[in-house]
């Protein structure tokens, strides 16, 4: 609210006699403003709509569930649903599993719905106890270092603070995680434990899905044990047919205003034409690409550095944050799908939910074209999950193909082995499966219904906003390999980024993006030493850290030691940012630059070997000088090996046992002095 200065109360030193006169309590302006405000208040009370009463709750008939949105807290009718599957999902897998479970409910005479906890007032979870045979299922993924996914953050906070009694609420949890991470399935395990503490009844054991192994197999095995247990618990029998159950019906638009057709937007129609902040996952900013250069000097790989322009977007970021980008699928693959299925890809269609009361009206923005859906909205590159094969099996005219597709969707050992070899090991995407099973020609609308959504890709930002407030830098390596079937497979996002060239003809390549905040932060005190370990593209966030430490020095701040451990294969091939790093060491921004060239000598040398070589300096920095340690890169091997190196240093120079050394490093993690930004 703007502060208004009242001129009638301004004193003047040139008129001392005015001070002797008694001033009125309220000036004319005061009275005018008071009358105006009072009138506005009365008008507001008189004109606003009466609040609608909350519908009464009738046990066994209907439940009203509060739904959050930006304008109000409205009410969403469960309309007889007794299975609610909440999902915490960052990459879409948790949501996909939730949809599969809610669809399963129909086969067991129940009615289910998948629900995003971010959209619901979770304090009303207790009301599920009032519905007969009700159950809350939670498909909860763990993100980063034991964190909830973005859409489950509010739910996690509520669970921590709530003392709501959930007596009578039945629940079960399936957790999604990756064993290579320190806090494996932490979010799912916490939800399972906390719901029990609040009085809810666990009706089936916690499921643990490991993406480092075979997440799909873990889920199918848990699911096939879960439903028979639920039938026994609730005293019901499977009543649905063991066949495909469509969730959406096709509507073709033969005469439609093309201005009402989605062309790749994720939320608001035409949002890519008229950009309006704030920018987020539903409203990404189209950032022009201003730099796209190859980083490596030689070798077979393609490592790239991109810079995107965020001028005028009001986007703010900090060193260590992630930039999320929305890629598109390869046009050639989209065209091949259209050809093999014999469809007009430019047909405008809508897929409308058959359940009119569902909060999810379409599987992706509609109306749109098949071409747009396959290009922008659907993941057609990732090997399809078993439920997709099961649903599509009905369209195979060869009985053997039908049998094998259904077998792969079962938890039988033979079926698991077939799925592992035919789909996963041979890395067959949906196009490859259609090519190798000529009897399989499903309707394209059913295929589009079953394909998972194409997800944003996250990259550690390779710049500092202190130095580059109007641009964001990305460092990535092109994913490209030949499968066992002889097919060349290319990474969706990295291939797309590689082709985002800086045009000279006035047309600018753009990247739909938004910022995801991170806890990967430089120490609050610039005087604290930092130890950065980032081989390969793990160097990315440290480029931002180094830029920021240099900027702080320029501002006259006291900056502690800045030590970098970088690793690559060959000095003359893939020494990323060599000139920038060597210049930073020359000017003193980097106190010590340690580089491991793993394949430039007979014996391989990695960053963990250099850590052991410098163990005395490291121990002083950590134990005496309060250094902060940062690890970025591969979680499966590098991060583990580096952590082991720190254990060994603590054992040798700290006089600790392995157990004590492990506890010592874990305490550093708890204090925020050992941070990881890793992927598998």
Contacts of 401 (CB under 8 A, 6+ apart): 393, 437, 439, 440
Q: Is the pLDDT of residue 134 over 70?
A: yes
pLDDT at 19: 33
**Kind of pairing, strands 348-353 and 322-325?**
unpaired
Question: Per-residue pLDDT tens for 426-440?
Answer: 999 999 999 999 999
Question: Per-residue pLDDT tens for 209-265?
Answer: 999 888 999 999 999 999 999 989 988 887 655 556 789 999 999 999 999 999 999
63: in domain: no
226: in domain: yes
Contact yes or no for 112/98 (Cβ under 8 A): no
Final residue in a domain of this structure, among 475, 493, 518: 518
Instruction: Give the DSSP letter string of 151-165.
Output: GGHHHHHHHHH----
pTM of the entire predicted model: 0.86
Residues of the domain holding 609: 530-678
Alpha-helical segments (H) within 283-330: none
Tally of CB atoms within 10 A around 301: 16
pLDDT at 23: 43
DSSP class of residue 383 equals P
Which residues participate in the annotated binding site?
A: 89-94, 141-144, 176-185, 211, 301, 457-460, 475-477, 481, 491-494, 537, 598-599, 604-608, 641, 679
Which residues participate in the annotated binding site for FMN?
A: 89-94, 141-144, 176-185, 211
Cis check: omega of the bond before 367, within 30 degrees of 0: yes
**Kind of pairing, strands 64-68 and 73-77?**
antiparallel
Final residue in a domain of this structure, among 434, 455, 476: 455
632 is catalytic: yes
pLDDT at 14: 34
Asked if residue 465 and residue 444 are part of one domain, the reply reads no
Distance, CA of 596 to CA of 337 (rounded, Å): 45
Asked if residue 395 and residue 306 are part of one domain, the reply reads no
User: Residue 136's Cα: distance from chain center in Å?
Assistant: 23
Backbone angles phi, psi at 67, to 5 degrees: -115, 130
pLDDT at 76: 43
State the catalytic residue, choosing from 350, 460, 463, 471: 460
Q: Give 565 or 121, the one with higher predicted confidence.
A: 565
Question: Per-residue pLDDT tens for 316-374?
Answer: 999 999 999 999 999 999 999 999 999 999 999 999 999 887 778 999 999 999 999 99
Asked if residue 465 and residue 561 are part of one domain, the reply reads no
**58 DSSP β-pair partners:** 62
Which residues participate in the annotated binding site for FAD?
A: 457-460, 475-477, 481, 491-494, 679
Contact yes or no for 630/545 (Cβ under 8 A): yes
Asked if residue 609 and residue 514 are part of one domain, the reply reads no
Asked if residue 673 and residue 559 are part of one domain, the reply reads yes
State the catalytic residue, choosing from 158, 227, 551, 679: 679
Distance, CA of 580 to CA of 264 (rounded, Å): 38
Here the CATH number for the domain that contains residue 368 is 1.20.990.10
Q: Is the pLDDT of residue 70 over 50?
A: no
Asked if residue 185 and residue 103 are part of one domain, the reply reads yes
**Kind of pairing, strands 471-477 and 303-309?**
antiparallel
Mean pLDDT to the nearest integer, 387-403: 96
Asked if residue 672 and residue 538 are part of one domain, the reply reads yes
State the catalytic residue, choosing from 379, 401, 445, 677: 677
Asked if residue 463 and residue 425 are part of one domain, the reply reads no
411: in domain: yes
pLDDT at 78: 58
Here the CATH number for the domain that contains residue 590 is 3.40.50.80
Asked if residue 92 and residue 112 are part of one domain, the reply reads yes
Contact yes or no for 67/75 (Cβ under 8 A): yes
Here the CATH number for the domain that contains residue 191 is 3.40.50.360
Asked if residue 300 and residue 333 are part of one domain, the reply reads no
Distance, CA of 522 to CA of 531 (rounded, Å): 10
565: in domain: yes
Contacts of 72 (CB under 8 A, 6+ apart): none
Question: Per-residue pLDDT tens for 321-334?
Answer: 999 999 999 999 99
DSSP class of residue 83 equals E
The mean of the pLDDT values for the chain is: 89
Asked if residue 565 and residue 419 are part of one domain, the reply reads no
Here the CATH number for the domain that contains residue 300 is 2.40.30.10
CA angle, 200 then 206 then 212, to 5°: 145
Domains of the chain: total: 4
440: in domain: yes
Confidence label for 177 from pLDDT (cuts 50, 70 and 90): very high
Asked if residue 106 and residue 135 are part of one domain, the reply reads yes
Mean pLDDT to the nearest integer, 382-386: 95
Question: Per-residue pLDDT tens for 466-510?
Answer: 999 999 999 999 999 999 999 999 999 999 999 999 976 768 899
């Amino acid at each position: 609210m703007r502060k208004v200065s009242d001129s009638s109360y301004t004193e003047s030193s040139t008129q001392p006699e005015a001070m002797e006169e008694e001033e009125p309590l309220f000036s004319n302006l005061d009275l005018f403003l008071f009358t105006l405000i009072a009138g506005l208040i009365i008008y507001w009370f008189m004109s606003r709509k009466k609040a609608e009463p909350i519908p009464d709750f009738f046990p066994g008939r209907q439940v009203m569930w509060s739904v959050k949105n930006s304008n109000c807290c409205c009410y969403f009718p469960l309309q007889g649903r007794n299975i609610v599957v909440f999902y915490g999902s960052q990459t879409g897998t948790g949501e996909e599993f939730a949809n599969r479970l809610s669809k399963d409910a129909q086969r067991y005479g129940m009615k289910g719905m998948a629900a995003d906890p971010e959209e619901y007032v979770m304090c009303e979870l207790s009301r599920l106890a009032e519905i007969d045979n009700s159950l809350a299922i939670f498909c909860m993924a763990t993100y980063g270092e034991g964190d909830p996914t973005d859409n489950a953050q509010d739910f996690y906070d509520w669970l921590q603070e709530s003392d709501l009694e959930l007596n009578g609420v039945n629940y079960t949890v399936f957790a999604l995680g990756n064993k290579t991470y320190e806090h494996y399935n932490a979010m799912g395990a916490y939800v399972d434990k906390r719901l029990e503490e609040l009085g809810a009844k666990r009706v089936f054991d916690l499921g643990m899905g490991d993406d480092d192994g075979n997440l799909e197999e873990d889920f199918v095995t848990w699911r096939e044990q879960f439903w028979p247990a639920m039938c026994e618990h609730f005293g019901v029998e499977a009543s649905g047919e063991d066949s495909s159950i469509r969730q959406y019906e096709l509507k073709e638009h033969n005469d439609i205003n093309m201005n009402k057709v989605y062309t790749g937007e994720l939320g608001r129609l035409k949002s890519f034409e008229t950009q309006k902040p704030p920018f987020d996952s539903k409203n990404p900013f189209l950032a022009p690409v201003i730099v796209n250069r190859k980083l490596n000097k030689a070798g077979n790989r393609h490592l790239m550095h991109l810079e995107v322009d965020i001028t005028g977007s009001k986007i703010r970021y900090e060193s260590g944050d992630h930039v999320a980008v929305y890629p598109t699928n390869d046009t050639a693959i989209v065209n091949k799908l259209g050809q093999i299925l014999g469809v007009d890809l430019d047909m405008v269609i809508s897929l409308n939910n058959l359940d009119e009361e569902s909060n999810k009206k379409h599987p992706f923005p509609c109306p749109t074209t098949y071409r747009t859906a396959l290009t922008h909205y659907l993941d057609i590159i990732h090997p399809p999950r078993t439920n997709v094969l099961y649903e599509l099996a009905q369209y195979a005219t060869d009985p053997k193909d039908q049998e094998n597709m259904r077998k792969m969707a079962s938890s039988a050992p033979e079926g698991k082995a077939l799925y592992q070899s035919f789909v996963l090991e041979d890395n067959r995407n949906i196009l490859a499966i259609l090519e190798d099973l000529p009897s399989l020609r499903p309707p394209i609308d059913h295929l589009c219904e079953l394909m998972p959504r194409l997800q944003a890709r996250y990259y550690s930002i390779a710049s500092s906003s202190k130095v580059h407030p109007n641009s964001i830098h990305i460092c990535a390596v092109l994913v490209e390999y030949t499968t066992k079937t002889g097919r060349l497979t290319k990474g969706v996002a990295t291939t797309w980024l590689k082709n985002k060239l800086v045009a000279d003809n006035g047309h600018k390549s753009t990247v739909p993006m938004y910022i995801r905040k991170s806890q990967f932060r430089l120490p609050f005190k610039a005087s604290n030493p930092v130890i950065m370990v980032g081989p390969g593209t793990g160097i990315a966030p440290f480029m931002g850290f180094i830029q920021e430490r240099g900027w702080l020095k320029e501002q006259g701040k006291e900056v502690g030691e800045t030590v970098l451990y970088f690793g690559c294969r060959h000095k003359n091939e893939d020494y990323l940012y060599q000139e920038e790093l060597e210049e930073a060491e020359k000017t003193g921004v980097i106190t010590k630059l340690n580089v491991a060239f793993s394949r430039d000598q007979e014996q391989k040398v990695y960053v963990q070997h250099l850590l052991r070589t410098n163990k005395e300096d490291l121990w002083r920095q950590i134990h005496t000088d309060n250094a902060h340690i940062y690890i970025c890169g591969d979680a499966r091997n590098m991060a583990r090996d580096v952590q082991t190196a720190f254990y060994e240093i603590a054992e040798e120079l700290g006089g600790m046992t392995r157990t004590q050394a492990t506890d010592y490093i874990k305490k550093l993690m708890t204090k925020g002095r050992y941070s990881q930004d890793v992927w598998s």
